[in-house]
Structure 1
Amino acid sequence: MTAAIQEPAPLLRRILLQGKYEARTMLSNGEQLILAVFLPLLALVGLVVTPLLDGLGSSRVNIAVPGILALCAMSTAFTGQGIATGFDRRYGVLRFLSTTPLGRAGLIAGKALAVLAVLVIQTVVVTAVALPLGWQPNAGGILTGALLLILGAAAFTALGLLVAGTARPEATLAVTNLLWIVLGALGGIVIPGERLPAGIQAVVPYLPSGALGDALRDAFIAGTFNGPAALILLLWTVIAGAAAIRWFKWN
Structure 2
Amino acid sequence: MFTLLSKLGYDALYEHLNQTGVIEVDIVTDQEAATEQDLYRYVDRNTLKSVMLIPENYSVGLAVALIGQDARLAPNITLLLDQSEMQRNNIIMSVMEQLASRYNLMLAGGSRFVHFNTSDLIQEDFGFIDFFLPGVIALTVMTNSVFGIVETNLRLRKRGILRKLVTTPFTRSEWLMAKMLYMLFTSFLSTSVVLAVGILVWNISFKFNAYLFILVVAASFAFAGIGMLLTRFVTDEETAPAAANAVTFPQMFLSGIFFQLETMPGFLQVIAKFMPLYYVGEGLRDAMIYGNMEGALFNTMVVVIFAVIVFAAGVAITSWKEK
Deviation at 1:80, TM superposition (A): 1.8
Q: C-alpha separation between the residues in 2 aligned to 1:240 and 1:120?
A: 20
Report the CA distance between 1:53 and its aligned residue.
4.9
CA–CA separation in structure 1 for the residues paired with 2:291 and 2:165: 43
1:231 CA displacement: 2.9
- Range 116-125 or range 162-171, more displaced: 162-171
> Does 1:91 pair with 2:153?
no
Q: Say which of 191, 198, 201 aligns to 1:123.
A: 191
Q: Deviations over 1:201-228 (max 9, x none)?
A: 1221231111111111111002233233
Kindly indicate whether the alpha-carbon contact (under 8 Å) linking 1:151 and 1:234 is maintained by their aligned counterparts in 2.
Answer: yes
How many Å separate the matches in 2 of 1:233 and 1:145? 12
Change in CA separation of 1:91 and 1:159 when aligned onto 2, cut-off 3 Å = same
- Taking the aligned partners of 2:245 and 2:160, their CA distance within structure 1 comes to 23
Q: Give the whole-Å Cα distance in 2 for the aligned partners of 1:53 and 1:82.
A: 34
2:141/2:191 contact within 8 Å kept: no
How many angstroms apart in 2 are the aligned matches of 1:52 and 1:220?
14
Counterpart CA distance in 1 for 2:257 and 2:148 is 17
Q: Aligned pair in 2 of structure 1 residues 52, 144: CA closer, same or farther (>3 Å)? A: closer
Q: CA deviation at 1:161?
A: 0.5
Largest Rg, 1 or 2: 2
Amino acid in structure 2 at the alignment position of 1:249:
S
Quote the Cα distance in structure 2 between the aligned partners of 1:102 and 1:246. 15
Q: Give the aligned partner of residue 288 of structure 2.
A: 220
- Tell me if 1:80 matches 2:174: no
SS in 1 for 2:202: coil
Q: Note the C-alpha offset of 1:171.
A: 4.5
In structure 2, the residue matched to 1:11 is: none
Aligned length: 199
**TM-score, normalised to structure 2's length?**
0.55
Structure 2: tracts of 5 or more residues without a match: 1-82, 90-120
State how far apart, in whole Å, the 1-side matches of 2:312 and 2:173 are.
Answer: 14
Q: 1:106 to 1:235 in 2, by over 3 A?
A: closer
Query: In percent, how many aligned pairs have the same letter?
Result: 26
Partners of 1:158 and 1:240 within 8 A in 2: yes
The aligned counterpart of 2:276 is 208
Alignment-derived partner of residue 304 in structure 2: 234
In 1: Cα distance, 2:210 partner to 2:288 partner: 9
Output the aligned Cα RMSD: 2.4
Name the counterpart of 1:108: 176
1:181 is the counterpart of 2:254: no
1:138: Cα distance to partner?
2.0
Contact 1:187/1:210 (<8 A) preserved: yes
Where is the strand percentage greater, Structure 1 or Structure 2? 2
Structure with bigger RCO (C-alpha 8 Å, 6+ apart): 1
Which runs of 5 or more structure 1 residues have no equivalent in the other structure? 1-50
Q: 2-side partners of 1:230 and 1:117: how far apart? A: 19
Contact 2:84–2:127 (Cα < 8 Å) also in 1: no
